[in-house]
Structure 1
Amino acid sequence: MKTYRTLLLAMFICWIPSSALAQADLSSLDEYFESSRSDWDVPGMAVAIVKDGEIVHIGGYGVLEVGSSTKVDDHTLFAIASNTKAFISSSIASLVDAGKMSWDDPIGKHLPYFQLVDEVATQRATVRDALSHGVGLGTYSGDVIWYKSNHTAEEVLKLVSHLEPAFEFRTGYGYSNVMFVAAGEVIGAVAGKPWDEYVQDHFFDPLGMSRSQTSTARLKELGNVATPHKISAGANLAIGFADWYSMGSGASASVISSAHDMAQWVRMHLNEGELNGTRYYSEAAQQQMWHPQFNYSVTPSTRETYPGRNFNGYGLAFGVSEYRGQFMAAHGGAYDGMYSRVAMVPDMELGIVVLTNTMKNMGPWLVYDIVDAYLGDSVRDWSGYGLERDNRSKTAFANRMDSFRDARVEGTSPTLERDNIEGTYHDDLYGGIVVVTEEGTLRLTFPRSPDLNATLEHFHYDTYEIKWDQTHSWFDFGTVQFESNHKREVVGMSFSVPNEDIFFEELNLKKVN
C-alpha cells in the first residue's frame, strides 16, 4: 500500500495548480485520498487544497454514515471543533483593529465576574493569555464543567473560579477550552452582540460561508450533514450530533462547516486578512495570531520525526511550527465523533483542510503528505506512519481499559447500605449530582447534564460501575467509589473515568443530604 500511495503522490507532484489541471492529475489525487480514507477506515472525509489564492482541489470521499450510500461532497457539513478558536481570535483581531479593545486588555476589564483561584492570574490575565493557553490551568481542565451540560457560557466561567491551577500564571502551557469561552464572552461585551452573531456578520456572510453554523439548530433543515462515529469494538458506530454551543462552550469548539466554506476561510488567512477586496483585519493582526506566544521543546526525536523543525509553539488560536524549513500555522479539532485539520504554509501560499467523521485523527498526516508533494519529494508515507501510531495508541488505551476491568475483585459485596448511598452530592466546581433508586436500581443523575445520567452496577466493595444511558465518544467505562466516615456514614463520592479529555476526577463531591 505504501508503494501505491507513493506512486499516487508522485503523480500529484507533477500537477500544476491552475484552472487547467489535467484530469489525470486530479484522478491520481482522488485515488490517494480515497486510498488513505479506506486504510484508516474513516466513513467519510472532505479535503480542500488552496494554492496561490485559489482552490486547486476540493472533494468528498466516502459516505455520510457507515452503512449509507449517500456520498460526502465539498458542501457536506462536519464539526470543526477547536478550529472554531481561530474564528474567535480573528474576531478579536477585527475589534482590535477597530480600536475597541487590545490584545492585552485584562479579561476582567470586559467581564467583571471573571475570577480564577489564583488572584494574581485573575487581575493580570489578558485576552492574549486566554487565546494562547497561558493562564495556568491544566490541559482540558474544566471541560467536565460544560460537557453535555445545559450551562450558559457565563455560568461555565463562574464555575471556573473553582478550578485549581496546574502552573503558576504564565509559567506553563495548558490547552484550555474554558478560556476560549471567556474570549467569546469578551467579544460579546465589546461588540455588543454574541460572539456567534459577530462571526456570522463579519466572516460567514461576507466570505460566502453560506452553510457554516455555530450550532446544530439548523442541521436538519440544511441537510447533507456528516454523521459522527465513535470507535466501538474496533468498528465505527454512528452516534448523535452533539451541540457544543448549547453546552456553554461554543466559543471553544462549536462551529460546523464544509470543505468549500473552510477553503474561503483559508484563502482569507493566507492573504493576511483580505479576500476579494474586503479586508477583515490587518496584516499586523495576522502576524500577531501567528506569532508564538509559547514555545515547546524541540527534541532530537522531534527533529527526526519532523525534518527541519527548529521551533514548535502556539500563537493566538494557531499552532505554529517549522516543517522542512517552512513556517506552518495549523490547528486540529476533536469533536464527539469527528476530527478536523486546518494547515497553512504562508510562504508557499498553501492551505489544506481535512474534515472526517470518526474518532481517527488522520488529518495531520495527510497535511504532511500534501506539503511534501509540493516541496517535490517525500519524507515518508505520512498517512501510513500516522495510521501505525494511531493503532498503537488505541491498542495502548484498550490495554489500559482492560487493566481497569481486570482490577475487579470478584465475590465482594457492598458494605454501605443503599439508603446510606442515596442523596445529593455537591462540588463547588460542578454543583449537585444525585444518587437515587429507581425500580430497584441505583441511578446516577446529573441535573445540569442529564445526558450523563447512568445506572450504577456493583463493581466491587463500595465501588460501582457507571452504565451510561447514552453512548459517549470520549469514554465508555468508569466507576464511582462511595466514601464513608468512622460511623459508616457516606460522606462523599469520587469518579474514575479513564479518558483523554473529560476529567471527572476534578470533582470533589461531598454528600450534603
Structure 2
Amino acid sequence: MRPRRNNWLGALLLVTIVCGQPARAQEAPLGGFDEYVNKALRDWEVPGVAIAVVKDGRLVLAKGYGVRKLGEPPPVTERTLFAIGSTSKAFTAASVAMLVDEGKLKWDDPATKYLPSFELYDPYVTRELTVRDLLSHRSGLGVADLLWYGTEYDRDEILRRARYLKPASSLRSTFGYQNVMYLAAGQIIAKVSGKSWDEFIRQRIFTPLGMTASNTSVKDLKNADNVASPHAENKDKVEVIPWRNLDNIAPAGSINSNVIDIAQWVRLQLGEGAYGDQRLISSGAIKEMHRSQTVIPFEPSPLLPEAHFLNYGLGWLLSDYRGRKLVRHSGGIDGMSAQVAMIPEEKLGLVILANREDTTLLVALMYKIFDAHLGAPQRDWSAEMLKAAKGFAEQGEAAAKKLEAERVKDTKPTHAPEQYAGTYTNDLYGEVKVTNENGKLNFRFGPAFTSGLEHWHYNTFRARFRGAVASTAFVTFALNAQGKIENATLSLLGVADYPFKRAPEPAAAAAVSLSEVELKKFAGKYESKAPPVEVSVEMVGGKLKAVVPGQPVYDLVPVAPTRFRIAGAPEGFFAQFDMAEGKPKSLTLAQGAGPSIVLLPDQ
C-alpha cells in the first residue's frame, strides 16, 4: 500500500470441489521448486511464504514454506492467513464493476454524484473527477498516506480532510499512486449498494468464491489459529512487529487471506468474470479492468525484465513479459508482502504471500514460476534480484553515512526544551504534540508516530518510530521574526516532508488572582512608533482594561503575575508586561501566530 490489505454449506462444497484433490508441490514443470524456495527464504531472511499457482482453471500448486513466526515451530501452510495489502484494490475495482454491470453507476460518472460532500483542493477537480479516475491513480493529488496510516481518523473524516490536499499535478496528466481515492471508491460502493464496503466484499465476492477464511479487518483474526506474524528488519535483525489495523483505509488494502482463497479470485479473473457455473462480473467489465487507463513512465530495471510498457488499469498493474500481457499487483504493509499476477492468454496465474515487508523475493518467485510454465530458459531470479537488492541496500547505507557526515557537530538548540513544547497543526493531517518531560522532548502524531527527540544539530531533532513507515525521521523547528518557535516540519526520509504550524496558546481561565493594588501598577499609556500603536491600560470597576483607539475595550484577565489574556480578542492574544524595579518597562502584545508588538510606557 505504501509507496506498500450465508450459504456456508455451499461455500464449503465449492472449496472441496476446487481443492479436494491436493495439488502436487512438484507437479511438472515445477520440479525442484521446493528446494529453490527454501534456499531463497534463507538467502532473503524471510521467515515464511505461501504460494498457489492456477493453470487452465486448475490449482496446480498450493503450499507453504518456512514458519509463521520467527523462533516458533508452527509452519506456514497453504491456509495460513496473511495481509494482502494493496492487492485488495482489485477487489474494490471489481465491486465497482459489479455495480456498473447492474446499471447502478457508470465508470465515468462524477464521484460527487454519489458523494455530494466530497471536495478536493481544486474546484475543477472536484467537479470533473470520475469513478474511473478514483481507480486509476490519475487524480493529480500528492501523497497523503499520513492522513490514514496509524491515525485515528475514520473513513468519513479522511475523505473530509482530502479537501486540504494540494495537487501535485493536473487531473489525468500523470500517474500518482493514491490510496485515499480508493477509499472514496469504497465509500461510493457503500452509498450505491446500501452495504458497507466490507459487507459487499463478503457477500458478493468472498461467499460465491468460497473464500471462507478471508476477511477485511485485523479484528477478524482474533479467532483464527493459522495466522502469520508480520516481520520487519530492525538494526540488521529481522523481528516480529505488530499487525497494522487498516480499517480506515480498507478499500485500498485491508483484506487478509490465504493462497487457497486468493487462487479462487485468480480463477475468477482468468475466467473473465465466470467462476464454475456462476458469472459474477461481465467479461466486458473484466476487460475494462485489465485495459490500460494511465501510462506509467518507466525505465528498464531488474523488476521489469523484457517489459516494453507499464500502465495501470482499474486495480491492476499492466505490463508485458516474454511477449505476453502481464496483469498483476503487489501489496505491502507493516511486516507483510503480497504478489498476485496473471498471464491471461496462457490461463496462468499465481499468488505469493510472505510475512516480511518490502521483499523483492516475491517478484523473483513470480518470474521463476512463469518461466517454468512458459518453457523459457531458466534463470536464478532469486540470486539476480538479491544481488540488486543488496546494491540498493548499500546505496541506502551510503546515504545514511553521508547524512551522518553532514551533521554539524557541537551545535545547540536555540531555545530551552519547554519552549519547543506545544501543539502544532496542519489542516490536512491534524495535530502534532511536542511535550517536555524532565528536559527531554517527546513527539507524538497519532498512535503510529511516537518518539523521543534526540538533538541532531541546530533546531533539528532525530526521531525513531518503531514499526512505522519510516524508522528514522527528523523534526525541524523554525523561528519567526520575533525569535519564537513557529513551525515544526516532520521529515520522513525517502517519503516526504510534513509541515505543522504552532497553534496559538489556548485561552485558559485566569490562573492567578491579583488585587487592585497589584493591577494598578500596570495602568498607564503605552506606545509603539513602528508600527504606530497606542494602548491605554486603565483600572475600571476594579478590573484592568485595554483601550485601543477604534477598537472595543478589552478586559485583561491575569493568567500569570505579569501576563494577561485579552478577553474578546482572537485566541492566542496576550498582553505581557516586562517589569523593572516594580514598574512596567514594556508591554508586548502577542497576536497568536502573528507578529508580536512591543510598546513602551509613554513618558
Q: TM-score, normalised by structure 2?
A: 0.77
Counterpart of 2:355, as a letter, is N
3-state SS of paired residue (2:164): coil
- The answer as to whether partners of 2:409 and 2:457 remain within 8 angstroms in 1 is yes
Going from structure 1 to structure 2, the CA distance change for 1:53 and 1:424 (only over 3 Å counts) comes to same
| Aligned Cα root-mean-square deviation (Å) | 2.0
Report which structure shows greater RCO (CA 8 Å, sep ≥6).
1
Distance 2:491 2:303 in 1: 36
- 1:143 matched to 2:142? The reply is no
Which structure 2 residues correspond to residues 342-421 of structure 1 after superposition, within 5 A?
342-359=340-357, 360-378=359-377, 380-421=379-420
Q: Unmatched 5+ residue regions in structure 2?
A: 1-20, 506-603
1:23 deviation in Å?
5.9
Hey, what does 1:131 align to over in structure 2? 135
Distance 2:119 2:461 in 1: 35
User: 74, 97, 100: which is aligned to 1:96?
Assistant: 100
User: 172, 175, 199: which is aligned to 1:173?
Assistant: 175
Distance 1:383 1:285 in 2: 35
1:310 deviation in Å?
3.1
Distance 2:202 2:285 in 1: 20
Hey, what does 1:506 align to over in structure 2? 498
1:398 deviation in Å?
2.6
Going from structure 1 to structure 2, the CA distance change for 1:481 and 1:375 (only over 3 Å counts) comes to same
Hey, what does 1:71 align to over in structure 2? 75
- 1:286 matched to 2:286? The reply is yes
Distance 1:24 1:361 in 2: 25
Going from structure 1 to structure 2, the CA distance change for 1:413 and 1:119 (only over 3 Å counts) comes to same
Hey, what does 2:490 align to over in structure 1? 495
Going from structure 1 to structure 2, the CA distance change for 1:304 and 1:393 (only over 3 Å counts) comes to closer
Q: Unmatched 5+ residue regions in structure 1?
A: 1-17
Counterpart of 2:429, as a letter, is Y
3-state SS of paired residue (1:306): coil
1:381 deviation in Å?
2.1
Which structure 2 residues correspond to residues 104-115 of structure 1 after superposition, within 5 A?
104-115=108-119
Question: What is the CA deviation profile of residues 449-475 of structure 1, one whole-angstrom value per residue up to 9, with x for unaligned ones?
Answer: 12322211222211111144xx22532
- The answer as to whether partners of 2:449 and 2:468 remain within 8 angstroms in 1 is no
1:306 deviation in Å?
2.2
Which structure 2 residues correspond to residues 147-296 of structure 1 after superposition, within 5 A?
147-245=149-247, 248-296=248-296
3-state SS of paired residue (2:472): coil
Distance 1:304 1:137 in 2: 26
1:19 deviation in Å?
7.9
Counterpart of 1:452, as a letter, is F
Going from structure 1 to structure 2, the CA distance change for 1:496 and 1:406 (only over 3 Å counts) comes to farther
- The answer as to whether partners of 1:208 and 1:261 remain within 8 angstroms in 2 is yes
Hey, what does 2:591 align to over in structure 1? none
User: 433, 438, 456: which is aligned to 1:459?
Assistant: 456
3-state SS of paired residue (2:32): helix
Hey, what does 1:437 align to over in structure 2? 436
Distance 1:132 1:345 in 2: 20
Pair member with larger Rg: 2
3-state SS of paired residue (2:423): strand
Going from structure 1 to structure 2, the CA distance change for 1:335 and 1:22 (only over 3 Å counts) comes to closer
3-state SS of paired residue (1:409): coil
3-state SS of paired residue (1:212): coil
User: 37, 56, 60: which is aligned to 1:33?
Assistant: 37
Counterpart of 2:278, as a letter, is T
Distance 1:303 1:458 in 2: 39
3-state SS of paired residue (1:458): strand
- 1:336 matched to 2:334? The reply is yes
Distance 1:317 1:83 in 2: 8
Name the count of aligned residue pairs. 483
Hey, what does 1:11 align to over in structure 2? none
3-state SS of paired residue (2:400): helix
Question: What is the CA deviation profile of residues 121-158 of structure 1, one whole-angstrom value per residue up to 9, with x for unaligned ones?
Answer: 111111100100011023xx000111101111111111
Counterpart of 2:463, as a letter, is I
Going from structure 1 to structure 2, the CA distance change for 1:183 and 1:22 (only over 3 Å counts) comes to closer
Q: Which has the higher helix share?
A: 1
1:429 deviation in Å?
0.9
Going from structure 1 to structure 2, the CA distance change for 1:298 and 1:410 (only over 3 Å counts) comes to closer
Question: What is the CA deviation profile of residues 299-348 of structure 1, one whole-angstrom value per residue up to 9, with x for unaligned ones?
Answer: 5x4699622x3322110010011111111100000110111000011110
1:410 deviation in Å?
2.2
Distance 1:458 1:310 in 2: 48
1:379 deviation in Å?
6.1
3-state SS of paired residue (2:363): helix
Q: TM-score, normalised by structure 1?
A: 0.90
Going from structure 1 to structure 2, the CA distance change for 1:438 and 1:277 (only over 3 Å counts) comes to same
Hey, what does 1:121 align to over in structure 2? 125
- The answer as to whether partners of 1:131 and 1:179 remain within 8 angstroms in 2 is yes
1:74 deviation in Å?
0.5
- The answer as to whether partners of 2:489 and 2:498 remain within 8 angstroms in 1 is no
1:116 deviation in Å?
1.4
Distance 1:333 1:108 in 2: 28
Going from structure 1 to structure 2, the CA distance change for 1:102 and 1:467 (only over 3 Å counts) comes to same
Going from structure 1 to structure 2, the CA distance change for 1:303 and 1:297 (only over 3 Å counts) comes to farther
Q: Which has the higher strand share?
A: 2
1:405 deviation in Å?
3.1
Name which of structure 1's ranges 41-50 and 415-424 shifts more when overlaid on structure 2.
415-424
Question: What is the CA deviation profile of residues 177-201 of structure 1, one whole-angstrom value per residue up to 9, with x for unaligned ones?
Answer: 1111111111111111111110011
1:50 deviation in Å?
0.3
Question: What is the CA deviation profile of residues 345-381 of structure 1, one whole-angstrom value per residue up to 9, with x for unaligned ones?
Answer: 1110100111011121311221111111111122632
- The answer as to whether partners of 1:134 and 1:173 remain within 8 angstroms in 2 is yes
1:486 deviation in Å?
2.2
1:205 deviation in Å?
1.4
- The answer as to whether partners of 1:424 and 1:511 remain within 8 angstroms in 2 is yes
Name which of structure 1's ranges 454-463 and 141-150 shifts more when overlaid on structure 2.
454-463
Going from structure 1 to structure 2, the CA distance change for 1:473 and 1:429 (only over 3 Å counts) comes to closer
Counterpart of 1:264, as a letter, is Q
Going from structure 1 to structure 2, the CA distance change for 1:327 and 1:217 (only over 3 Å counts) comes to same
Distance 2:85 2:420 in 1: 38
Distance 1:239 1:250 in 2: 20
Distance 1:410 1:20 in 2: 62
Counterpart of 2:461, as a letter, is Y
Hey, what does 1:43 align to over in structure 2? 47
User: 39, 50, 56: which is aligned to 1:52?
Assistant: 56
Distance 2:464 2:346 in 1: 50
1:220 deviation in Å?
2.5
3-state SS of paired residue (1:67): coil
Identity of aligned residues (%): 37
Going from structure 1 to structure 2, the CA distance change for 1:271 and 1:116 (only over 3 Å counts) comes to same
- The answer as to whether partners of 2:418 and 2:439 remain within 8 angstroms in 1 is no
